Amino acid sequence: MKRLTKVCLILVVVFLGIGILLAVVGTAMGFRFGNIRDISGLTNLTKQEKYEYPLEEIKNLDIKVDAGKLEINSGDEDKIVVIMKRKDDYGTCYQDGNKLVIHEKLKKSFWKLFENYGTEVKIYLPKDYKFEKGRITMGAGEANIERFYGKEISFDVGAGSLHGDTIAAAEKMELSAGAGEIDIEKMQAKDTSVECGVGSISLSGKVDGDISADCGIGEISLDLDGKENDFNYILKSGVGDMEINDNKFHALGNDKKIDHNAKKTINMECGVGSIDVNVN
């Protein structure tokens, strides 16, 4: 009985440590208790404002959404249009030099845990407009993007979700999901970095440069145009699973290199999650 008690106490300490670790990781990834809310039907949005910016004045975009909703759609006008619905001063939109800044920041308090005070942001871009640098940072919010073009693109999702129909980066694309989800149906990029904690990232499309895929305990799925031997592969895993087309790799002790004498390389590192690469 004493042995059983000792084992149980050890398990309690282990699981308590895991819980504390996950709480710390979640906080670092952008989660706050003030984000616990249903954003499917935001209420209490008392202000609606419309902003318009000439194309020649805006080269870069910086968006931060805490727990609200973001939509980026194609517009009919030859300018950038932003429509923001918000509660009091929970959101801001302004021009900083040649950069358009849109930030939502919630006021945190225990009594507002379940209030739908997020901000709704709708952005309308000319069909073929391209940013120099476009960055979107999501906390526990929700983003839906119809079309987004840029020279350099960065999407960072904490505990929320981001869905993209068509995303193209001429030079570099960086995608990061902490406990959240990123799903891009049609992408085109050169050098691409994909980093996933406990969430998931799913991409489909064409990559003309190198790919770095780093997965903790989540899931990464890459469905790429081309042939398997268009890429070289460098694989490293803990107890996680990796798959390239029909070839499966698990718990590799050392780095495994697959050299096709290709111009592009996929560098895959997986902890206890999974990385699935399909090239066809």
- Give the CA dihedral 198, 199, 202, 203, nearest 10 degrees: -80
| pTM recorded for the entire structure | 0.82
The kind and range of the H/E element at 22 are helix 2-28
Query: Quick one: pLDDT at residue 63?
Result: 98
Query: Quick one: pLDDT at residue 21?
Result: 54
Q: Residues 6 or more apart from 24 whose CB is under 8 A from it?
A: none
Query: Which pair of structure tokens corresponds to residue 87?
Result: 């509660």
pLDDT tens per residue across span 135-168: 999 998 899 999 999 999 999 999 999 999 999 9
Query: Quick one: pLDDT at residue 101?
Result: 98
264-270 and 231-237 beta bridge pairing:
parallel
CA of residue 138 relative to chain centroid, distance:
7
Query: Quick one: pLDDT at residue 238?
Result: 86
- Region for 245 from its dihedrals, namely left if φ exceeds 0, alpha if ψ lies in -120 to 50, beta otherwise: left
Query: Quick one: pLDDT at residue 251?
Result: 75
Side chain identity, residue 256: K
Query: Quick one: pLDDT at residue 37?
Result: 42
Residues of the chain with pLDDT under 50: 1-14, 24-25, 27-42, 109-111, 113-114, 116
Query: Quick one: pLDDT at residue 107?
Result: 57
Burial class (CB in 10 A: 0-12, 13-18, 19+), 10: exposed
User: Are the CB atoms for 258 and 233 separated by under 8 Å?
Assistant: yes
